[in-house]
């Protein structure tokens, strides 16, 4: 349940990363301290910053800088990797092609998903099959981020560290998205007004999202219980993490998939790079027994198959 949080907590996850595959991790005191903080953040805010993650700041900066370079290219160049439904929704979407609840977003983006072949994962594989379209320019674009925080979150829920692996998330249908938000300046000869929505109000779809955002612009905002928008002010060297819809169900509603939006009211172009750690495409998502028990036996009325949830979203997310 989200609360009236006024700020977003910062969690140093270094002790968790040091022990993430240690059979004794659940008994380790330092890991326990991280797990406690994760639990509190997931319950109260649904958002937190992580530091001590081991990804060098220079690499985070390089990823953002390449993203700026890509969005800076002429439109024709970006169109070379245009996203199409036939290509499994992978590639470049131009400004206002992405819509949230029917309203176009002042956003351009490039989407990557785990690559899958047609014929795998039944109907979900029919729609989401495809290879990623990596830009030729800038070179050395391909990069990866790793996620181990879910093991800490599993412990925080009182489950075993590998609860979200195997048939739940062991073959995660991950997504990477490069987001580009023009500032309040001329876009294609047209003025961008203040408060134009870069990314409309939404929750993320899967387990856990990690956002690497530009250091100098505050644009991401998170909604608290009384409806106030709390800024996720950049904190250099950290990733912003947030809970997705599937984790809300798996946790029986103990953890919140908090609403958020992006408004870039600065003069400068802003980028963010999101890594979305999702369930398996065919994962059946229902409240975990341990979480139902924590809620005194009351079970939230929700069930999903991750692929179905995702496909319902991608089919209505674009005007092309
Ligand atoms: O640009 C951001 O900071 C966040 C974007 C976002 O919420 C998303 O891609 O789901
Ligand atoms: Fe989001």
- How do the domains of the chain map onto residue ranges? 10-315
The predicted pLDDT at position 24 comes to: 94
CB distance 213 to ligand 1 below 6 Å: yes
Please identify, by atom number, the ligand 1 atom nearest to the C-alpha of residue 274: 9
Please identify, by atom number, the ligand 1 atom nearest to the C-alpha of residue 242: 7
CB distance 204 to ligand 1 below 6 Å: yes
Q: Whose CA is nearest to atom 1 of ligand 1?
A: 272
The domain 10-315 having CATH identifier 3.40.50.720: the answer here is no
CB distance 105 to ligand 1 below 6 Å: no
The predicted pLDDT at position 141 comes to: 45
Q: What is the DSSP letter of 242?
A: E
The predicted pLDDT at position 81 comes to: 95
The predicted pLDDT at position 318 comes to: 73
Average pLDDT per run of 10 along the chain, which is 320 residues long? 91 93 94 97 96 90 93 94 93 91 91 89 86 73 56 95 92 93 76 81 94 97 96 96 96 97 94 93 96 96 95 82
Tell me, in angstroms, the distance from the centre of ligand 2 to residue 211's CA. 9
Neighbours of 193 (CB within 10 A): 9
The predicted pLDDT at position 145 comes to: 40
CB distance 238 to ligand 1 below 6 Å: no
The predicted pLDDT at position 35 comes to: 97
């Amino acid at each position: 349940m989200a609360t009236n949080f006024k700020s977003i907590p910062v969690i140093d996850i270094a002790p968790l990363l040091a022990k993430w595959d240690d059979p004794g991790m659940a008994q380790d005191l330092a890991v326990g301290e991280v797990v406690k903080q994760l639990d509190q953040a997931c319950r109260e805010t649904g958002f937190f910053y992580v530091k001590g993650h081991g990804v060098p700041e220079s690499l985070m900066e390089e990823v953002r800088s390449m993203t700026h370079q890509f969005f800076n290219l002429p439109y024709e160049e970006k169109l070379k990797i245009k996203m199409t439904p036939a290509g499994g929704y992978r590639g470049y979407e131009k400004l206002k092609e992405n819509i949230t609840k029917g309203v176009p977003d002042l956003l351009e983006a490039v989407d990557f998903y785990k690559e899958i072949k047609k014929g795998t994962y039944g109907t979900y594989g029919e729609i989401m099959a495809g290879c990623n379209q990596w830009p030729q320019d800038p070179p050395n674009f391909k990069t990866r981020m790793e996620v181990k925080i879910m093991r800490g979150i599993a412990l925080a829920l009182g489950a075993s560290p590998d609860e979200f692996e195997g048939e739940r998330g062991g073959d995660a249908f991950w997504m990477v998205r490069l987001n580009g938000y023009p500032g309040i300046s001329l876009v294609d000869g047209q003025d961008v007004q203040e408060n134009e929505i870069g990314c409309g109000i939404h929750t993320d779809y899967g387990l856990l999202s990690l956002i690497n955002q530009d250091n100098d612009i505050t644009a991401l905002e998170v909604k608290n219980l009384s409806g106030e928008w709390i800024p996720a002010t950049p904190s250099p060297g950290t990733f912003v993490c947030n809970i997705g819809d599937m984790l809300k169900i798996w946790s029986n509603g103990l953890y919140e998939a908090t609403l958020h939006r992006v408004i870039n009211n600065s003069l400068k172009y802003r980028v963010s790079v999101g890594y979305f750690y999702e369930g398996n495409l065919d994962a059946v998502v229902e409240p975990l027994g341990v979480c139902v028990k924590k809620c005194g036996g009351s079970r939230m009325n929700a069930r999903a198959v991750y692929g179905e949830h995702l496909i319902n979203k991608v089919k209505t997310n674009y005007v092309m």
